[in-house]
Amino acid sequence: MILKGFRILDMSSLLPGPMCSLFLADLGAEVIKVESPKGDMMRYLEAESGKSPYFEALNRNKKSVVIDIKSKEGNEMFLGLAKEADVVIEGMRPGKAGILGVGYNSVKRINPGIVYCSISGYGQKGPLKNKAGHDLNYASLSGLLNAMSPSPFVPGVQVADAGSALVAAVSILAALLYREKTGKGTYIDVSVLNSAVSLIGIHIAHRSVSKRSGTVLSGATPCYNVYKTKDGKYVSLGAIESKFWESFCRAAKKEYLIGRQFDKSSVKALREVFIQKNQGEWLSLNKKYDFCCEPVKPLDEVIRDPKLGKSGAIISLNNIRQAGYPALFSSFAALKYRRAPKLGQHSEEILSGLKSKTGNRMRRFKK
C-alpha cells in the first residue's frame, strides 16, 4: 500500500478530521483513532440499526483505542504513542489540545519530526478562533451558500467540512514530503472557513470584476442547467462548449437556438423544449449525438449502479454501501477495505506495547 509504514494518531471526531484520516487510511497508513471512553459522537448519529452509517463510512480501515487524555495516565499514554507517530490530527477548539498537554509543542518535544495538523472552524488565530460553529455556519459565512444559490438553503452535503478534510489531507502529504527532503516536522493550521472560501475561488474572482450574480456555471444560461422532462424526472445539460451546444440544438431539431447558447432569456425556451420528451428519450438522443446530458439520479439508484460498483466508486462493508477511494493507481495493487472498528477494539493490541510509567494502571484504558 502506498502509505504503508506511516502511523497517524487521529484525536478528531465528527466529519472533517475523520474524513481527512479516511483518505490516508484508504491509502495504507496505519490510522489509530484515539477516542474518549464515550467514543466519537458520530458513532451514535442515525444509528437506527445499532450502527451509524456515518461513522462506518468515515472510519473504515482504522484502529480504535480508548484513552482518556484528560487524565495523567491517559496523557502519558497518548504521548507514548505520539513519540513513534508520523502524524497527529486533532479537531478541538484552538488551544484546547495544548491545555490538555497533547498539543503540538508537547508532541514536538518528544518527536521533532512530527507532522501535527489542527482542524478548526476559524483557524488557530484571529478574532473568530473561539467561536463555535458547524458546516452550515462556515458555508454561510464563506459565501459558499450564496455562490451555490441566490436563495439561502440547507445543502444536503457538508461541503465546507469535506473541503477542509481534503485540504488537511493534501497538506499532511505535502508536509510528509517536506520531512522526507529536510528531516523537519511541521505544524498545519486548517480552517474550515478558509477551506470553504477556497472552493469558490472562481466565483470570488468573477465577483471581484463583475456585479453580475448569474454566471455560466450557476444556472443562469440555457446551455448549463437542469431541466424537467415530460415524465416528471430531470436531466442536467452541460453543453458549455459550442460543439456540444450545436449538437444538442440539432438533436432537438431547434437549430434556431444555436446562436443563443449564453442568452439568459432562452432558459425558458429550453424548459419548454425538454418538457416535450421523457428523460429516457433525452438520454437516447444524448447517446447518439453526445451533447453532455445526464439524468438527475436519486441516491437509491446511485448506490446500486453496477458501473459505479465495478469502478470501485461504491463499495459495501458491513452491509453498508459506501463511497470508495476515488482514484486508481497503475503501480499499486487494488486498495483493500476493512470495516470501521468497534470502540476500543485495538486498545489491547496498541497500548500493551507502551512502556508506560503508570504501570498496571494502564489496564484501565484497555477495552
Domain boundaries defined on the chain: 7-200+337-365, 216-298
Query: Which three-class secondary structure state does DSSP give residue 294?
Result: strand
pLDDT for position 32: 98
Find where cell 487494488 sits: 334
Q: From 3.40.50.300, 3.90.180.10, 3.40.50.360, 3.30.1540.10, which CATH number describes the 216-298 domain?
A: 3.30.1540.10
pLDDT for position 212: 79
* β-strand partners of 65: 34
DSSP per residue, 225-240? EEEE-TTS-EEEEE--
pLDDT for position 356: 46
pLDDT for position 20: 98
- How do the pLDDT tens digits run along the chain, 367 residues long? 899 999 999 999 999 999 999 999 999 999 999 999 999 999 999 998 889 999 999 999 999 999 999 999 999 999 999 999 999 999 999 999 999 999 999 999 999 999 999 999 999 999 999 999 999 999 999 999 999 998 999 999 999 999 999 999 999 999 999 999 999 999 999 999 999 999 999 999 999 999 877 788 889 999 999 999 999 999 999 999 999 999 999 999 999 999 999 999 999 999 999 999 999 999 999 999 999 999 999 999 999 999 999 999 999 999 999 999 999 999 988 899 999 999 999 999 999 878 544 444 444 444 4
H or E stretch at 186:
strand 186-191
- Short-list 12, 32, 185, CA closest to 91: 12
pLDDT for position 355: 54
pTM over 0.75: yes
DSSP per residue, 36-80? -TT--GGGGTT-TTSS-HHHHHHSTTEEEEE--TTSHHHHHHHHH
CB 175 within 8 A of CB 186: yes
Distance CA 312, CA 300 (A): 17
Q: From 3.40.50.300, 3.40.50.10540, 3.20.20.140, 3.40.50.80, which CATH number describes the 7-200+337-365 domain?
A: 3.40.50.10540
pLDDT for position 361: 45
Distance CA 136, CA 144 (A): 10
- Short-list 139, 187, 141, CA closest to 162: 139
Find where cell 455556519 sits: 137
Half-sphere exposure of 318 (CA within 13 A, CB side): 19
DSSP state for residue 314 in the 8-state scheme? E
